Amino acid sequence: MQGQPGQAAASLSSEARGIFSIVKGRYGKEGGDEDFYCSAYSGDSLTVDRVGRPRVTLRRPCLSILWMVQPDAARKAFADESMTQSGLLPRFLIFDPKAEPQERFTQPEPIPHATKGAWSSLVAELVESFRKQGNEARTVTASKGALAVFTNYELENVRRRRHSGDLRDLASFVARWTENAWRLAVVLHAANHGSQAHAEELDSATAENAVKVMRWFSARQLETLSAGRWETLRKRLLALLAVLAQANGEISLRELRRSHSFEEDEIKQLQATFPKSFRIQRKRPETGRPSDVVTTRLEDMKE
C-alpha cells in the first residue's frame, strides 16, 4: 500500500476461507492484523514493523475489500468475540445469499454489449480521474438535503443502540451503519457523475438510495448475527441466574445494577427473550418505597 497512489489498494478474493485465520495472526508471533485492517478502513495513520524489514508508515491508508467465504467460515468468524471487539467485523457489509440450485431450461440472455461498454467506460473514467490521481485527494460535498437524510438515519441508529434500544447488544455493529451509508453514497455519486463527481453536490436522492441499500445490508447482517446474538444473551442469562442463586432467588434491580453490572434494560431484554427463566415484580414493603425485584421461576423452568 505504501507504493500505491494515495496509499490505496484492494483485497479481492473468491476463496477467502483462510484469510480470517491469517488476519487473526496465523503466521505472526505478536497477534493478528486487525489493527491494520481497521486503520485502512478509517484512514488512520499506521506504522508497521516487520522483522528484517524497514519500518513502514502509512499516513492515510485506504483499503477496499471483497471477500467471498463459505457460510460456515463466516459463522465461525462472527462467533469469535475478539474479531468483533477489535472493531474489524462491524466494518463489513455481509450477507448470505442462501442460493438454491435452479433448473434451467433455456440459456440465459448475455449482458448487452451496450451495458458492458458503458460499465467499462465508467470504470476507466473513474480510474483515470481519481485512482491515478490518488495523491491529490478530491472532496465530494453533500447538499443540505443529503446531510438531513444521514442525520435522521444516524439518530435512528443511536436510539437503537443505546441502553433502551432493541439492538443494544449489537451496538458495535449498528454504530457503523451510518458511516457505511456515507461510503455507499459516494460510490453511487461517482457512478452517477463519473469524472465530475468532485464537482457535483451529493444530493438527497443519492443519500436516500444509499440508506436504502444500507438498510438491506443491515437486515442481512442481523440474520447472520442471530445465532451468535442468542448465544450471547444465553450466557448473560446464565450469569444472571447464578447471581439469583447466590441471592436465594430474589434480588433488586438496583442491586443488580450497582453490584453486578446488569442494567434494567438488559434485564428486560433477557426477560423478553427467556420469559420462563425469571420474573420482574414490584414489591411494596410495609415501610419505605416500593422496589422492582427479580425472582427465579424454577417451577416454569422445570416444565
Interval 31-47: pLDDT, tens: 567 888 899 998 899 88
Question: Considering the domain boundaries, does residue 188 fall inside one?
Answer: no
Question: How confident is the model at residue 136, as a pLDDT?
Answer: 82
The upper half-sphere exposure of residue 264, i.e. CA atoms within 13 Å in the direction of its Cβ, equals 9
Q: Which of 72, 92, 112 is the last residue of a domain?
A: 92
Q: Where are the beta strands (DSSP E) in 114-202?
A: none
Q: Which of 65, 92, 119 is the last residue of a domain?
A: 92
Question: Considering the domain boundaries, does residue 262 fall inside one?
Answer: yes
Confidence of residue 160 (pLDDT cuts 50, 70, 90): very high
- Cell 446474538 belongs to which residue? 229
The CA-based dihedral angle spanning residues 104, 107, 112, 113, taken in that order and rounded to the nearest 10 degrees: 140
Question: Considering the domain boundaries, does residue 264 fall inside one?
Answer: yes
Task: Mean pLDDT check: name the lowest of 26-30, 150-154, 215-219, 290-294.
Answer: 26-30
Q: Give the domain range for residue 280.
A: 231-301
Q: How many domains does the chain have?
A: 2
Degrees to nearest 5, angle at CA 80 with 237 and 257: 30
Question: Considering the domain boundaries, does residue 218 fall inside one?
Answer: no
Q: Which residues contact 137 (CB under 8 A, 6 or more apart)?
A: 6
Q: Which of 92, 111, 141 is the last residue of a domain?
A: 92
> How much is the average pLDDT of 178-202?
96
What's 269's domain CATH number? 1.10.10
Confidence of residue 300 (pLDDT cuts 50, 70, 90): very low
Question: Considering the domain boundaries, does residue 166 fall inside one?
Answer: no
Q: What is the pLDDT of residues 116-128, one digit of tens each?
A: 999 999 999 999 9
Mean pLDDT, the chain, as a whole number?
A: 88
Question: Considering the domain boundaries, does residue 61 fall inside one?
Answer: yes
Q: How far apart are CA 59 and CA 162, in angstroms?
A: 33
Q: Which residues contact 159 (CB under 8 A, 6 or more apart)?
A: 165
